Structure 1
């Protein structure tokens, strides 16, 4: 089993403005975690494996009243709507499989370079 530790290398003023903002820090954190999971999976991950990783963090696709994120499935859909992730349904011999892959905002050079340096 492999573990990863994420350490912010943002300057203190940017960290305070973007991460510590109590109104949006939970959204920023979830977006960062989800895009990092997808990045570590090679840029594309099937939905079952993504939810497996999120469940390890205490987030369930059936949780509609998470104390921070509310409906977790809707929170993940918001990340898709904000174009950090792109979802694609693929028909295969075993049925339909949904894949999530990094979308343009997650592939944006400053964000992508920041994720590489961590």
Structure 2
């Protein structure tokens, strides 16, 4: 188990800068698995949520590359949509109206799709190798 200190977002108000300790909001904890990779994959990993984990990883990577802060993640998605990598569709279903994002022309291009699959495979294989070394 690892303890995390959650911080409030920085503010331009002088009162918020009064003390470093006042920025500590609450303590959170995460559990770090020490299981071997094959057992973790078999018994713990949630395949149904892997797309969310992958998306979170990408968003965190983008924010990291932007210097740790980004004004709005949705602006990045809009930029990707205007470049025709993604398209947005409104769908009415049992849960009500939802917005679905799907691959657009440029993302479906064979050369881009092949390179993306190759890269994802390398990342997954590298992660599996790293977990086995732990």
TM-score for the superposition, normalised by structure 1: 0.44
Q: Relative contact order (C-alpha < 8 Å, sep 6+): which is higher?
A: 1
* Structure with the higher fraction of residues in strand conformation: 2
TM-score for the superposition, normalised by structure 2: 0.40
In our comparison, the structure showing a higher alpha carbon Rg is: 2
